Amino acid sequence: MSTTADAAAPDAEKAPAFSLELSQDQRDIRDWVHGFAKSVVRPAAAEWDEREETPWPIIQEAAKIGLYGFEGVAQLHADPTGLTMAIANEELFWGDAGIGMAIMGTNLAVASIFGSGTPEQMGEFIPQCYGTVDEPQVASFCVSEPDAGSDVSALRTTARYDEPADEWVLNGQKAWATNGGIANIHVIVATVDRALGSRGQAAFVIPPETPGLTQGTKVKKHGLRASHTADVFLDDCRIPGRCLLGGKDKLDSRLARAREGGRSNSQAAMQTFEVTRPIVGAQAIGIARAAYEYSLDYARERKQFGRAIIENQAIAFALADMKMEIDAARLLVWRASWMGRTGQRFTAAEGSMSKLKAGEVAVWATERAIQILGGNGYTREFPVERWHRDAKIYTIFEGTSEIQRLVIARAISGLQIA
């Protein structure tokens, strides 16, 4: 008589062996990015945090070694497991999150062009996002508005088609735009048919030096200070018809289905965010890991009452919890990265899970690090206070923790929970 296990054995034998061991290529890329983060990024972090300016020399150094540019990003994305991009982001943001975002912030616009654009649009616009080694450029993905952050259906920026001129005319204001105003390429999510809410939106590329696009106020931020953030204003900003990502025929077809009551799986903003959330989670893990490793070393060396403070159970247990939570968050990020790359359906909002867990772990771990360092941790003489400031945004941007929980709750319940 065969058991259930025996009956399943033939299929199990055909299944690939489960392993979390990284390939040699993955380990090489991890070590390569870590070396850049350690030798170039981390030594410059405090300076650029204080200056609150885009670190163009560091971006150029990243371009010189191939880390910044389409070929480098394509190499990271080519990994069939989906893990290499997450691994690279963790290592870079271990070095510094502000500089890391200055380098990686362009990829959000590139992801939108790659995800929604035609091959011709990819070929024309993606190289312009990065510029050249001699003259690097950045790109900006602009969604949020003063009155529309988590609620993307409330976007007020409009795009009107001028058929005789074959041009789109954009008007509105974008807020919290990474690289906003200084970017060579801006990708703008705008409303084409307001009656359809988020289903009536589309993404548009604004080419370099297009009249009608101007930078508003540059935001002075709590963290990620080396990354430029600003408002972007669009005042009768005219762009060629070819700058609508995906093309007009595809948009018209999608809008027609939406007007007839059909469902659309191509919301311009949400499609980009779904792809990038695990990567954002990996960035948060990099910050958390930096804080954990620094506070572990500190606790081994710091003496109080005649012994290293790590010999006190309260400190040792805090470090144990930090290590456990960081590893758990990384596993969620790796799962979501693998699922996205291999075409698995996120039936329980696994992408949102990874970003939610990683962001909250980063805030929690950096706070624990400050506590372990005591008064030293609260000063700018030690990096943990900067890491704490940098970590907080990961519970806010690309979907707040509350929005992530809403997405997960809707996925697991099948209900439109409000």
What pLDDT is attached to residue 148? 76
Whether pLDDT at 404 is above 50: yes
Please state, in angstroms and rounded to a whole number, the distance separating the CA atoms of residues 265 and 249. 16
CATH number at residue 337: 1.20.140.10
Please state, in angstroms and rounded to a whole number, the distance separating the CA atoms of residues 406 and 418. 8
Q: 248-284: b or e for each residue (b if 16 or more CB lie within 10 Å)?
A: eeebeebbeebeeeeeeebbbbbebbbbbbbbbbbbb
Confidence band for 343, pLDDT divided at 50, 70 and 90: confident
Please state, in angstroms and rounded to a whole number, the distance separating the CA atoms of residues 32 and 59. 16
Is residue 181 a part of any domain in this protein? yes
Q: Which of 174, 219, 196 is nearest to 52 (CA)?
A: 219
pLDDT digits (tens, 9 = 90+) for 78-123: 999 999 999 999 999 999 999 999 999 999 999 999 989 999 999 9
Is residue 286 a part of any domain in this protein? yes
Confidence band for 5, pLDDT divided at 50, 70 and 90: very low
- The phi, psi pair for 382, rounded to 5°, reads -120, 145
Is residue 127 a part of any domain in this protein? no
Query: Is residue 333 located within the same domain as residue 275?
Result: yes
Is residue 180 a part of any domain in this protein? yes
Query: Mean pLDDT, to the nearest integer, of 292-304?
Result: 97
What pLDDT is attached to residue 276? 80
Least confident of 137-141, 235-239, 347-351: 347-351
CATH number at residue 224: 2.40.110.10
Query: Mean pLDDT, to the nearest integer, of 392-400?
Result: 94
Query: Mean pLDDT, to the nearest integer, of 44-57?
Result: 98
Of 259, 280, 313, at which residue does a domain stop? 259
Query: Is residue 281 located within the same domain as residue 407?
Result: yes
What pLDDT is attached to residue 403? 93
Is residue 174 a part of any domain in this protein? yes
Assess whether 274 carries a catalytic annotation.
no
What pLDDT is attached to residue 198? 85
The rounded percent of the chain whose pLDDT value lies above 90 is 85
Query: Is residue 362 located within the same domain as residue 390?
Result: yes
- Torsion angle of C-alpha atoms 86, 88, 90, 93, degrees rounded to 10: -130
Query: Is residue 242 located within the same domain as residue 157?
Result: yes
Whether pLDDT at 16 is above 70: no
Query: Is residue 284 located within the same domain as residue 345?
Result: yes
Confidence band for 12, pLDDT divided at 50, 70 and 90: very low
Please state, in angstroms and rounded to a whole number, the distance separating the CA atoms of residues 289 and 271. 29
Please state, in angstroms and rounded to a whole number, the distance separating the CA atoms of residues 29 and 400. 31
Please state, in angstroms and rounded to a whole number, the distance separating the CA atoms of residues 133 and 311. 49
Query: Mean pLDDT, to the nearest integer, of 44-61?
Result: 98
Of 223, 240, 259, at which residue does a domain stop? 259
What pLDDT is attached to residue 264? 52
Please state, in angstroms and rounded to a whole number, the distance separating the CA atoms of residues 358 and 354. 6
Query: Is residue 248 located within the same domain as residue 333?
Result: no
Q: Which two tokens stand for residue 69?
A: 């540019």
Catalytic hit among 163, 385, 398, 402 = 398
Q: Give the CA diameter of the chain.
A: 82
Least confident of 23-32, 159-168, 397-406: 397-406
Is residue 45 a part of any domain in this protein? yes
Instruction: Name which residue leads in pLDDT, 24 or 19.
Output: 24
Find out whether 317 and 414 touch, Cβ atoms under 8 Å.
no
What pLDDT is attached to residue 263? 57
The rounded percent of the chain whose pLDDT value lies above 70 is 92
Domain total of the chain: 3
Segments forming the whole domain that contains residue 383: 268-413
Query: Is residue 156 located within the same domain as residue 251?
Result: yes
Of 259, 277, 304, at which residue does a domain stop? 259
Query: Is residue 362 located within the same domain as residue 292?
Result: yes
Q: Which two tokens stand for residue 279?
A: 């990567």
Query: Is residue 318 located within the same domain as residue 409?
Result: yes
Q: Is 17 left (phi over 0), alpha (psi -120 to 50) or beta?
A: beta
Query: Mean pLDDT, to the nearest integer, of 170-179?
Result: 97
Q: Which of 184, 219, 223 is nearest to 99 (CA)?
A: 223
Query: Mean pLDDT, to the nearest integer, of 203-231?
Result: 97
Find out whether 67 and 31 touch, Cβ atoms under 8 Å.
no
Query: Is residue 275 located within the same domain as residue 169?
Result: no
Query: Is residue 224 located within the same domain as residue 162?
Result: yes
Query: Mean pLDDT, to the nearest integer, of 173-180?
Result: 97
Please state, in angstroms and rounded to a whole number, the distance separating the CA atoms of residues 67 and 87. 13
Q: What is the mean pLDDT of the chain?
A: 92
What pLDDT is attached to residue 1? 37
Confidence band for 267, pLDDT divided at 50, 70 and 90: low
pLDDT digits (tens, 9 = 90+) for 236-257: 999 999 999 999 999 999 999 9
Is residue 109 a part of any domain in this protein? no
Query: Is residue 85 located within the same domain as residue 176?
Result: no
CATH number at residue 85: 1.10.540.10
Please state, in angstroms and rounded to a whole number, the distance separating the CA atoms of residues 264 and 260. 11
Whether pLDDT at 208 is above 90: yes
- The phi, psi pair for 103, rounded to 5°, reads -85, -45
Query: Mean pLDDT, to the nearest integer, of 12-28?
Result: 81
